């Protein structure tokens, strides 16, 4: 723990410098995007990407939130999907995890095998599409993107591992007092599981906020207002990543960057505050019982 | 009876979760039958189609893009295994040597952030660097008198772009489990090693590394188990339907998605066959790697 030799001092200095530079690598893209989003289109075309706007402008954000851009509709759709999806997934997953974490539950082994198998194998995209869009007729329906992710096996196992760490005496004392399953869950387990529930809430929110493949698949061009922001952003960016150079729909570069800012902002704002929870939630949840 | 009265509530709690699994994981598997028929999307049920046996699986091997997709998948995953798997271990060891709590915390916050950002956002960020006219890379190349590169029509660079963006996004988050394992190490071991004259490097190699070995093995099983799966989300976000880049980036997942999204019904049976073969190989790989780890006397993932 103590610094002893010259070599170790040199290493410490190198380590701090290296990690500082690495940290900058993680941050720099955001800063450049922010700068582009707050630049005027003309100065951006002249100077390209930079760390500081040559000419400040809010035009890009005005364009996003202006009428007829469709981007604001998508923002609202993203909020709807994220709020509903997260509430649904956290409820369903926590209930399942709590049920499965009960000792001596008859049929538990079989239930675990089913859960594990669902993580390792799936029918794939085409069968799911035929089932959801064809048989269930959920095209252009928010349920098509909300329901399939409502049960998250990974998060469920994380919660189960965490719940295993809760002292058995608490459970027995509660049973003595005549606590039924539901009161046991709400009064005893939820309060002690705040870190892991906060962790899976963050994971679920990020999962739904970042979802684009399913909405693109299930919402057609007549229901573009339903497309979440990430899905819309992908379409906008695709123009630039096609080899012909694109520019078909002619969305300004600064507007694209402003959309990236709006799409990233909720995550950047919320995540640092949940960090203290997921550090402990993830660590305790991952320790195998 | 009294068992049910006491525990019925627990089964009720399991109901929604297992209902979702049944509805969206297990029932859709009937659609795998599609890989064995002459598909007509107008028929009411896929079971009304003519049965073709293993026809589509034979067609698969006559398609030149199959080998391209297999090669791309394996090469990308091998590069990720060599670069993106060891990187978090090294980074975690470096973070562990930092003594300033504030620095450590800020660095961790910043390095976890990319994990929460969608690949679509990353594709927007990539424009900063790769855009032909305004991108930083081309500006730099021009500055040094070189010829600007048209990144989005040069397939040869994209394996590296995919691996490096994956490294950027995952390296910080990857440290979290290793750091957790490191906090569990008995501090007395370091004291004893110090008394015996072991330096920091020696302590890292002889104490820290062995103590995180189980976590490393588990991460390794998961990585090896994914050798045949493809990172659809990453590749389709960054590359999309770009036909020129397909040479080095197209994988089974992106091709299936493009077919389904484009409504190419004629391709559905073949796509299902591709997905089925990939799914079975992936399943076998993960079962084998978990089995291997258990044989080595370590704890597997289940």
For residue range A140-165, list pLDDT tens digits in order: 999 999 999 999 999 999 999 888 88
Instruction: Quickly list DSSP for A232-254.
Output: HHHHHHHHHHSTT---SS---HH
| Pair A124, A199 in one domain | yes
| Pair A143, A21 in one domain | no
What does the alpha-carbon distance between residue B10 and residue A185 come to, in Å, rounded to a whole number? 10
Range of the domain at A190: 69-286
What does the alpha-carbon distance between residue B289 and residue A170 come to, in Å, rounded to a whole number? 38
| Pair A21, A83 in one domain | no
Closest CA to A257 of A14, A48, A91: A48
Predicted local confidence at residue A246, as pLDDT = 47
3-state helix/strand/coil string of A38-107? CECHHHHHHHCCCCCCCCECCHHHHHHHCCCCCHHHHHHHHHHHHHHHHHHHHHHHHHHHHHHCCCCCCC
A254 touching chain B per CB within 8 A? no
- State pTM to two decimals: 0.92
Predicted local confidence at residue A239, as pLDDT = 75
Yes or no: say if B88 and A202 are a contact pair by the CB < 8 Å rule. no
In a domain, A1, yes or no: no
| Pair A19, A110 in one domain | no
What does the alpha-carbon distance between residue A27 and residue A25 come to, in Å, rounded to a whole number? 6
In a domain, A40, yes or no: yes
- Residue of higher predicted confidence among A172 and A142: A142
Summarize pLDDT for A83-94 with one digit per residue, the tens: 999 999 999 999
Cβ burial, residue A247 (10 Å; 0-12/13-18/19+): exposed
| Pair A154, A197 in one domain | yes
Residue among A8, A180, A241 whose CB faces B152 most closely = A241
Measured between beta carbons, the chain B residues lying within 8 angstroms of A243 are 150, 152-153, 242-245
Average pLDDT over residues A241-250: 57
Yes or no: say if B113 and A268 are a contact pair by the CB < 8 Å rule. yes
| Pair A119, A258 in one domain | yes
Summarize pLDDT for B185-215 with one digit per residue, the tens: 888 888 888 888 888 888 888 889 988 888 8
| Pair A167, A261 in one domain | yes
| Pair A14, A111 in one domain | no
- Asked if B17's CB is within 8 angstroms of A156's CB, the reply is yes
Minimal C-alpha gap between A86 and chain B (Å): 14
Residue among B10, B278, B282 whose CB faces A102 most closely = B10
If you measure CA to CA, which chain A residue comes closest to B115?
A206
The residue behind tokens 């189609």 is B49
In a domain, A60, yes or no: no
3-state helix/strand/coil string of chain B? CHHHHHHHHHHHHHHHHHHHHHHHHHHHHHHHHHHHEECCCCCCCHHHCEECCCHHHHHHHHCHHHHHHHHHHHHHHHHHHHHCCHHHHHHHHHHHCCCCHHHHHHHHHHHHHHHHCCHHHHHHHHHHHHCCCCCHHHHHHHHCCCCCCCHHHCHHHHHHHHHHHHHHHHHHHHHHHHHHHHHCCCHHHHHHHHHCCCCHHHHHHHHHHHHCHHHHHHHHHHHHHCCCCCCHHHHHHHCCCCCCCHHHHCCHHHHHHHHHHCCCHHHHHHHHHHHHHHHHHHHHHHHHHHHHHHHCCCCCCC
CATH superfamily of B64-295: MetI-like (1.10.3720.10)
pLDDT band at A243 (very low <50, low <70, confident <90, very high): low
| Pair A32, A175 in one domain | no
Predicted local confidence at residue A248, as pLDDT = 41
If you measure CA to CA, which chain B residue comes closest to A244?
B153
In a domain, A220, yes or no: yes
Residue among B9, B239, B241 whose CB faces A180 most closely = B9
User: How many domains is chain A partitioned into structurally?
Assistant: 2
What does the alpha-carbon distance between residue B125 and residue A261 come to, in Å, rounded to a whole number? 10
- Asked if B152's CB is within 8 angstroms of A243's CB, the reply is yes
Yes or no: say if A98 and B7 are a contact pair by the CB < 8 Å rule. no
- Residue of higher predicted confidence among B72 and A5: B72
In a domain, A56, yes or no: no
| Pair A22, A79 in one domain | no
Summarize pLDDT for B9-64 with one digit per residue, the tens: 899 999 999 999 999 999 999 999 999 999 988 888 889 999 998 999 999 989 88
Say how far residue B2 (Cα) sits from the centre of its chain: 47
Residue A41 pLDDT more than 90? no
B197 half-sphere exposure, CB direction, 13 A CA radius: 0
In sequence order, which residues have a C-beta less than 8 Å from that of residue B282 and are 6 or more positions away? A120, A121, B225, B226, B228, B229
R_g of chain A, CA atoms, integer Å:
24
Which tokens go with A105?
């539950």
- Asked if A4's CB is within 8 angstroms of B199's CB, the reply is yes
Yes or no: say if A175 and A56 are a contact pair by the CB < 8 Å rule. no
| Pair A41, A109 in one domain | no
In CATH, what number is assigned to the domain containing residue A113?
Answer: 1.10.3720.10
- Asked if B194's CB is within 8 angstroms of A49's CB, the reply is no
What average pLDDT does the structure give for chain A? Answer: 87
Measured between beta carbons, the chain B residues lying within 8 angstroms of A19 are 94-95, 98, 103, 107
The residue behind tokens 């990857």 is B174
What residues of chain A, 59 to 78, have a C-beta less than 8 Å from chain B?
none
Mean pLDDT lowest among A119-123, A137-141, B147-151, B233-237: B147-151
A48 touching chain B per CB within 8 A? yes
R_g of chain B, CA atoms, integer Å:
25
Residue A20 pLDDT more than 50? yes
Measured between beta carbons, the chain B residues lying within 8 angstroms of A288 are 299
Phi, psi of B265 (to 5 degrees): -60, -35
| Pair A168, A119 in one domain | yes
A221 touching chain B per CB within 8 A? no
A54 touching chain B per CB within 8 A? no
In a domain, A201, yes or no: yes
- Asked if A212's CB is within 8 angstroms of B237's CB, the reply is yes
Average pLDDT over residues A231-254: 73
The domain limits of chain B are 1-53, 64-295
In a domain, A244, yes or no: yes
Summarize pLDDT for B86-100 with one digit per residue, the tens: 999 999 999 999 989
């Amino acid at each position: 723990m103590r610094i002893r030799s010259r070599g170790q001092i040199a290493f410490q200095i190198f380590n701090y410098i290296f990690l500082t530079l690495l940290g900058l690598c993680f941050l720099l893209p955001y800063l450049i995007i922010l700068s582009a989003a707050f630049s005027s289109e003309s100065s951006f075309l002249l100077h390209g990407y930079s760390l500081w706007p040559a000419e400040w402008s809010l035009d890009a954000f005005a364009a996003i939130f202006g009428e007829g851009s469709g981007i604001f509709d998508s923002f609202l759709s993203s909020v709807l999907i994220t709020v509903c999806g997260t509430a649904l997934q956290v409820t369903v997953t926590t209930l399942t995890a709590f049920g499965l974490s009960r000792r001596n539950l008859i049929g538990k082994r079989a239930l675990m095998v089913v859960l594990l198998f669902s993580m390792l194998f799936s029918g794939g995209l085409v069968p799911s599409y035929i089932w959801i869009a064809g048989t269930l007729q959920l095209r252009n329906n928010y349920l098509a993107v909300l329901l399939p992710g409502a049960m998250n096996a990974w998060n469920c196992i994380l919660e189960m591992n965490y719940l295993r760490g809760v002292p058995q005496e608490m459970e027995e004392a509660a049973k003595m007092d005549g606590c039924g399953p539901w009161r046991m869950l709400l009064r005893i387990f939820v309060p002690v599981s705040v870190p892991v529930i906060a962790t899976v809430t963050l994971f679920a929110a990020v999962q739904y906020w970042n979802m684009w493949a399913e909405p693109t698949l299930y919402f057609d061009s007549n229901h573009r207002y339903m497309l979440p922001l990430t899905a819309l952003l992908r379409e906008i960016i695709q123009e630039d990543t096609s080899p012909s150079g694109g520019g078909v729909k002619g969305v300004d570069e600064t507007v694209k960057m402003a959309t990236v800012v709006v799409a990233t902002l909720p995550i950047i704002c919320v995540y640092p505050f949940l960090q203290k929870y997921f550090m402990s939630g993830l660590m305790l949840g991952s320790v195998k019982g | 009876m009294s068992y049910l009265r006491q525990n019925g509530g627990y089964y009720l709690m399991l109901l929604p979760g297992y209902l979702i699994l049944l509805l969206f994981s297990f029932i859709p598997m009937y659609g795998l039958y599609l890989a064995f028929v002459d598909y007509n999307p107008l028929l009411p049920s896929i079971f009304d189609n003519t049965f073709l046996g293993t026809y589509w699986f034979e067609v698969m091997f006559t398609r030149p893009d199959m080998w391209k997709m297999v090669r791309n998948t394996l090469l990308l995953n091998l590069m990720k295994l060599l670069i993106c798997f060891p990187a978090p271990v090294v980074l975690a060891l470096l973070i562990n040597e930092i003594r300033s709590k504030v620095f450590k915390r800020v660095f961790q916050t910043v390095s976890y952030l990319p994990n929460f950002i969608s690949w679509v956002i990353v594709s927007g960020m990539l424009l900063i660097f790769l855009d032909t006219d305004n991108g930083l890379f081309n500006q730099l190349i021009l500055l040094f008198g070189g010829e600007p590169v048209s990144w989005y029509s040069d397939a040869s660079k994209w394996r590296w772009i995919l691996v490096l963006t994956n490294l950027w996004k995952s390296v910080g988050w990857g440290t979290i489990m290793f750091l957790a394992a490191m906090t569990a190490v008995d501090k007395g071991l370091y004291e004893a090693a110090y008394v015996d004259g072991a330096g920091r490097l020696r302590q890292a190699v002889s104490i820290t590394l062995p103590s995180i070995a189980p976590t490393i093995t588990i991460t390794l099983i998961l990585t090896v188990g994914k050798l045949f799966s493809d990172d659809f989300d990453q590749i389709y976000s960054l590359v999309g339907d770009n036909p020129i880049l397909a040479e080095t980036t197209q994988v089974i997942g992106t091709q299936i998605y493009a077919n389904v999204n484009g409504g190419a019904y004629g391709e559905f049976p073949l796509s299902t066959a591709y997905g089925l073969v990939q799914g079975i190989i992936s399943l076998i790989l993960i079962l084998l790697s978990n089995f291997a780890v258990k044989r080595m006397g370590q704890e597997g993932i289940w």
